[in-house]
Amino acid sequence: MTKRILIAVALTALTASFLFADTTTTTPPSPPTVAEIVANQMAHLTTLLDLTTSQQTLATSIFTTQQTALAALQTSMQTAQTALQTAVKANDANGIAAAASQIGALTIQQVTAQATGDAAFWAILTADQQTKFAELNAPGQGGQGPGGAGPGGAPPAGSNGPGGAPPPPKK
């Protein structure tokens, strides 16, 4: 008899915990805005490179333009990826080719937007800042340039520019 009462109490407690459990759905956090991305980027670069106020203003404009272009391209890329998956599921060779072509064109645009912004940023740095920046972004240092590795990944080792390290000195 006590065993039945104990089981009944346990089941009642378990049922109550389900009834009173928080059933509200949580929405995933929204991605950062262009302004948030640029602000974080500027805080990081200002600390690393001791950017002047003028450089910060120019870089903020450069990276806002860059990130705005990349955000728009990302939306188009997601649409193209969805079209590709639809074509794959339908075994639609023409649809696959069209979506793949669109993805390729969008990737070119992404890399161009990334590199154009990176080049504009590189141009506003002093020689000392460029040297420090190149050292911070050298292979093995974890850096990929001011805007990251971009859609195509990191540039080849030994390439010049903001995203790549300068060639090693000749001995």
Q: Which residue has the higher pLDDT, 74 or 143?
A: 74
* DSSP code per residue over 17-57: HHHTS--PPPPPPPPPPHHHHHHHHHHHHHHHHT--HHHHH
Q: Does a structural domain hold residue 96?
A: yes
**pTM for this one?**
0.64
Answer yes or no: is pLDDT of 13 > 60.
no
| DSSP assignment of 62-103 | HHHHHHHHHHHHHHHHHHHHHHHHHHHHTT-HHHHHHHHHHH
In a domain, 151, yes or no: no
Residue 132 CA to its chain's centroid (Å): 23
Is 68 inside a domain boundary? yes
> Does the residue 78 lie in any domain?
yes
The pLDDT of residue 158: 41
pLDDT value at 154 more than 50: no
pLDDT grade for 137, boundaries at 50, 70 and 90: confident
Query: Can you say whether residue 98 is alpha, beta or left, with left for phi > 0 and alpha for psi between -120 and 50 degrees?
Result: alpha
Q: Out of 4-18, 21-35, 139-153, which region has the weakest mean confidence (pLDDT)? A: 139-153
Please report whether residue 103 resides in a domain: yes
Number of separate domains in the chain: 1
Q: Which residue type, as a one-letter code, is found at position 36?
A: E
Residue 107 domain flag: yes
Is residue 124 situated within a structural domain?
Answer: yes
Domain of 57? 32-128
Q: Is 20 domain-assigned?
A: no
